Amino acid sequence: MALARWERWDPWREMASLRAAINKLFDEAFGLTSEEQTGFVQGWAFPVDIIETPESIILKAELPGLSKEDIKISFDNNQLTIKGER
């Protein structure tokens, strides 16, 4: 007769699944989803103000810790991209 195998309860395994669930909740709440779903690359989120005037569109981004030389801005196919690395 075979004896039933009992696994020891591992609290860290439970914590890992809880952490994954919390991360998913925050990602969904702040709109951080995969690139395949949105077309956007996940990364560092930063506050941006967009002001439209009759002559132009002004974009103000808060990028703490970056100098002007660390920031790359491009506009291709109607998509504005702001890249920076800290």
In the three-class reduction of DSSP (H, G, I as helix; E, B as strand; rest coil), residue 71 is classed as strand
Question: In the chain, how long is the greatest CA-to-CA distance?
Answer: 85
Q: What is the pLDDT of residues 11-50, one digit of tens each?
A: 777 778 888 888 888 777 766 555 444 555 556 677 888 8
Mean model confidence pLDDT for the chain: 76
- The pLDDT assigned to 36 comes to 44
What is the tens place of the pLDDT at every residue in 41-85? 556 677 888 899 999 989 898 888 888 899 898 989 888 888 887
Cα–Cα distances in angstroms (integers) from residue 63 to residues 4, 34, 48, in the given order: 58, 23, 9
Model confidence, pTM: 0.43
Cα angle at 50 between 55 and 32, to 5 degrees? Answer: 150
Q: What are the sequence ranges of the domains in the chain?
A: 10-37, 44-86
Helix (H, G, I), strand (E, B) or coil at 74: strand
